[in-house]
Amino acid sequence: MEISDPQEMEGLRSELQKAGVFVTTMEFIYNWGRSSSIWPLQFGLACCAIEMICTAGARFDLARFGAEVFRPSPRQADLMIVSGTVTKKMAPQVVRLYNQMPEPKYVITMGACAISGGPFKQGYNVLKGVDRFIPVDVHIPGCPPRPEALIHALVTLQKKISAQTTLPREQGDVSNRAYDKGDQHYPVPQLGAHDIVPPFNPEVWHPEPVRRDS
């Protein structure tokens, strides 16, 4: 019997559970494993990093969600928490580190600076949002966001991961890009004479066109 509708699958699961039969899918177990052990990359960029460190500490205890294992190497990390202002000098390194992380990988932008440049948006040296170069999964507003907000972002990411289709039944039937056949490499920007080159990655960043009423 082929069941492709997730709602139908959920109904069948609860029906069987009433009869004392527990059924699950490989995808559910796989996604449960991935979402329950998200290892972040250990790096901080600005004051948001202090809140991130606090989240990993005893009071807020990120370990409750399986994400306390901050890895000092991108080879072992799943999650990049961009915690702070990304300057144009730092942007190439951030993109490079993202490229060095193995798939599947996720990005949380923490705070106004990582989202849009925040209070330093007018600065000549500040990148106006890290989503110009790398795909972001969860944005957390705040300046800085409280540890609870980071935990909320992590739980949001866990929900997102749990809903992803990773083991395709048919070709191209995956919602997680890491499991596509295609490449997941993002070009690293370089420091140019006046600005970073290119100023954004058109593959990732699709800004709303500016509308002026006149």
Partner 1 sequence: MEPYSYNYNYLLVAVLGLLGAGFGLAPILIARVLAPRKPSSTKNSVFECGLEGSGDPWIQFHIRYYHYAIAFVIFSIEAVFLMPWAAAYLELPWTGILGMALFLLLLAEGLIWMWSKGYLEWK
Residues engaged in binding partner 1 (CB under 8 A):
30, 73-75, 92-94, 96-97, 99-100, 102-104, 178-179, 183-185, 188
Q: How many CB atoms lie within 10 A of CB 96?
A: 13
Q: Of 193, 166, 130, which is closest to residue 33 (Cα–Cα)?
A: 166
Q: How far is the CB of 86 from partner 1 (least distance, A)?
A: 12
**For helices 147-162 and 26-36, angle between their N-to-C axes, nearest 10 degrees:** 160
CB nearer to partner 1: give 101 or 108: 101
Q: In the bound complex, what is the minimum distance in angstroms from residue 103's beta carbon to partner 1?
A: 5
Q: How far is the CB of 178 from partner 1 (least distance, A)?
A: 5
Specify whether the CB–CB gap between 154 and 62 falls below 8 A. yes
What minimum distance in Å lies between the beta carbon of 119 and partner 1? 25
The helix (run of H) or strand (run of E) holding residue 107 is: strand 106-110
CA distance linking residue 39 with residue 63, whole number of Å = 10
Query: Which C-beta is closer to partner 1: that of 156 or that of 184?
Result: 184
What is the rounded distance in angstroms from the CA atom of residue 75 to the CA atom of residue 105?
11
CB nearer to partner 1: give 91 or 115.
91
CA distance 113 to 11: 43
Q: Return the number of the residue (93 or 156) whose C-beta is nearest partner 1.
A: 93
Closest approach of partner 1 to the CB of residue 76, in Å: 11
Supply the minimum distance, in Å, between the C-beta of residue 179 and partner 1.
Answer: 5
User: How far apart are the two ends of the chain, measured CA to CA in Å?
Assistant: 60
Nearer to partner 1, 54 or 178 (CB): 178
Task: Give me 86's structure tokens.
Answer: 């990304």
Residue closer to partner 1 (CB basis): 104 or 123: 104
The C-alpha atoms of residue 33 and residue 26 are separated, in whole angstroms, by: 11
